[in-house]
Structure 1
């Protein structure tokens, strides 16, 4: 199983990369996957060349292929002008239109103030929903004051667990509960394949009661 991690941070070290790393660790604590980190700042020139020439350089092509082949994706961007960065958007503009269809994508963002905390819902989630990705319920935004706070750690842990479940649904217990609910079983009259209402059979199972017989019993009351 493969996990692609896209970080659009521009500085080094980067809080965006730090958030991406922590989300990766939280996900890998629940699922066995090989992570591949893609630093977009190292691909900025190649992304611009691709837009101009229509052909991606080798490093960019490898990054695009890694995202397309991954079983899950973590995408984290810094906030620029109350939205994702231009570099982040440019990279995903180059992704094949069907590459993210049905793919679990965990979204995250970093910023200097908590006032941008809804960027994940107003910008990132609509973007990946448009690309037909599966975005977990929990998105993670980290402002400067959030680092070291218990709340951020809890959101990261929850988001990682949600992504892991989407990446490996078979790992969940999906065995249906076959035991009947006695209240429901008693309240709902089952029907035969022909549509006739049936009644409980003391010997076990159900016996078919023809409609005419039930109607006669009702008239005799």
Structure 2
């Protein structure tokens, strides 16, 4: 029975991603955030369970990637699609643009799939990530969409163009060759985990300050720290 536990947890992550997708279509951005976080919890738990129970399997690896593309690829894409669809008239009255430009949100799902496929065959990513991982990308977008609908008083054309540019940037980040440190803490010691603890404290502070939008701020900080670390400005 224990060999099936990791796959059961993965399926729970997949189910959570499906619910998040439905919530995104309905424009319930708070619940999208909740269910993506639940999916991330199960996604972390399945790997932990597999290591603890020594229940690794090729099927589990493939199932995990399929689950991740739904929970961390499709769900955030639908959230961004819904937001763009609701606000596209702010930049154009052309019906073709209003109807079809929001579909660029699904670049996030496409590049999530590319990133996951790349991750499965890239032996360099056992201890850290190369490119932005899909859970971090998903958490950024779902919390950002929630923040835009609850924390931003006016959605301006400039903001809309910035969001569309960010879709392209984040899509490319997922398949980039930029090393990004893993968020998994193998030891509770401060040494070797300085960046992880700093990020955790900063994320908590941001959420306490600006609410759910603080999650998006924390992901931006994570990307920034990883880039500074790679350039040598911060010590590894």
TM bucket normalised to smaller: under 0.3
Report the structure number with the largest CA radius of gyration: 1
Structure having the larger proportion of residues in helix: 2
* TM-score, normalization by structure 1: 0.27
* TM-score, normalization by structure 2: 0.26
Structure having the larger proportion of residues in strand: 1
